[in-house]
Structure formats: C-alpha cells, structure tokens
Amino acid sequence: MTARILQGATFRDAIYAELRGEIESLRAAGITPGLAAVLVGENPASKIYVRNKIAACAELGLYSEEISPPASIATEELLDTVELLNRREDIDGILVQLPLPPQMDARRVLECVSPEKDVDGFHPTSLGRLVTGRAGLVACTPAGCMEILRRSNIPLAGANAVVIGRSDIVGKPMALLLMHANATVTICHSKTQDLPNVVRGADLVVAAIGRPWMVQPEWIRPGATVIDVGTNFITDLTHAERLLAPFPNRLETFRKKGSVLLGDVHPGAVEVAGAITPVPGGVGLLTIAMLMSNTVKAAMHRRGRGAGIPQAAGTARA
C-alpha cells in the first residue's frame, strides 16, 4: 500500500480561488482587507514565515504591513504598538509572530490583540468561542488541517482520532474541531503511556508534537489518515546524519543547504497510511491560506457583512 499524498498546494489554490471572489466583492464596495504582521527581532525562521505571509497578501490583493521592532523592545512598548493597530480602521487582522524574545510576556501581548482582529485565533475569546462551538476566528493551522480533511472527503463522524500534542496553538483547537465534527478524540502528549499502541488504534492521526520523525510507520494502522503538522528545522550535522542516513538524497540536500525541514512522522509511514500530508508541502501551505481567509472574514465582520466575531471591548493590560 502506498498512501494518497494530500498535497497542500492543491487545497491552498482552491481556497485562494474562493477568497478572490470575496475580495473582489469587498473591493467593489471600497474595502481592502488589511493585515498587520508584528515581527520582533531578527529570528531567521520568523522572518521567512512573515515574508511568506506578506507575499500571500500581495498575491490576493490584500493590504499588508510589517511592523519590525527590535528584539530589545519591552513588553509595555509592544503592547502600545498592538493597541495602535487595534484602533486603526485600515487594519482588519493583526498577527504577532511567535516566538517573542525571552524577556517579553507573550501571553499579555497576544491577549492585547482585539478579538475581532485576532486572525491567528490565539486570543482567549477566540479559544472560548471554539470551545462552545460558536462562530469566530480559528487558529490557522488546525483550521487548515480541517480543510484538508474536508476537501479530501475523509470521513470524521464516528472516526477514532488521535491528536499528538496539546499546545494551545495546534493540539487543543485541533481536538475541539474534530470533536465538533463528531470524531472520538484522544489527546496524547509526552506523558501518555504506551503511545504507539494508542496511535495504532486511530483512523486519523494528527501529529503536532514537535519532534522530528517521532511517529514511526509501525505506529500507524494500515489505511489510516495521517496529518503531519511538524515543522522541525534540523541544522546540526550530527543530528542530520543520524536521521537521514537511510535517505542519502535528503542528506546530500542537507549538506548543500545546511538545514532540512522534517515532519513529526517518519517518511516510511507513506507505505502504511491510506492518506498522508507531506513535509514540506502539506499543512504549512494551508496555515497561510487560513490566515488569508481569517483576514477576509475579519474584514467582512468588521464592516457589517457577517456575524459571529466579537467586537472589541477594550484591550487587556492587566
């Protein structure tokens, strides 16, 4: 058995085609959705992520703006920056690129973003609406996973789903979305006992643990669907040689580039699973697509063209 490869580009392009119609309708009414990306410091990976998000805005005809304070900025200063963006009428979505420098209180910064502009879906209000099944802005990566599953006609009602990882950004919202789709969900993490056996009972596995190739092929039930959320950048030669020894082509690529991106699922799973997302080229493309979707959705709701996203009720600085 060789798994069906769920290529992210296919789903991204379909979502973009749908968004273009909504954006054209907004622009015809004199509205250009606007996204502000706050990138603190010079983290190389973060700079790439933000650049890709800005490029997606340009491709779709959205307004975008990057705010790049130095890594030395204090939490209070960054809160002031976010509050200014909250008040700007031309900005519909605000994303604060993580991770923030260690001296910053990331939770306070994320909670400062107005819920109606929280296109990353990280605000407690956004998470609370997801818990209760109310309309709102959903975290982009789990929302993208759900789009892959829906557009691939993967049955979820009654399915046994295992989510490996319990982060507020991916694991928890992913589990909630699957529960709302009537799947039976098990959340696993570093303290789960006999993890391979738990995973082996799943019809659907979502790997979001942040450990390169942790999920082994023998963990996967034959025919199961595997969504690999992992984005593990390997830059250490010794680590790369250990992992990539059976894959000489990948190892040679590493030696040329000095880095390699690996998922959480071992590539041998393609011989066991019924369907699987690749890394790279899978979920990551949908994360950006859902950010664009959330920005358009926020613009529509802020302009009275939809319902379900809470209006700003002040910002949290406590």
Sheet holding 34-38, edge to edge: 63-67, 34-38, 93-96
Give the span between the Cα atoms of 187 and 209, in whole angstroms.
11
Catalytic residue list = 53, 97, 120
User: By the 8 A CB rule, do 217 and 210 touch?
Assistant: no
Give the span between the Cα atoms of 10 and 286, in whole angstroms.
10
Give the span between the Cα atoms of 177 and 130, in whole angstroms.
8
The gap between the terminal CA atoms of the chain, to the nearest Å, is 55
Q: How far is CA 128 from CA 75, 108, 144, 173, 185, in A?
A: 25, 17, 19, 10, 19
E strand or H helix that includes residue 161: strand 160-164
- Tell me whether strands 232-234 and 260-262 are parallel, antiparallel or unpaired: antiparallel
Give the span between the Cα atoms of 179 and 305, in whole angstroms.
29
Q: Which residues pair with 228 in a beta bridge?
A: 207
User: By the 8 A CB rule, do 117 and 60 touch?
Assistant: no
Q: How far is CA 294 from CA 28, 33, 137, 182, in A?
A: 19, 10, 6, 24
Q: What is the CA radius of gyration of the chain?
A: 20
User: By the 8 A CB rule, do 57 and 291 touch?
Assistant: no
Give the span between the Cα atoms of 57 and 291, in whole angstroms.
10
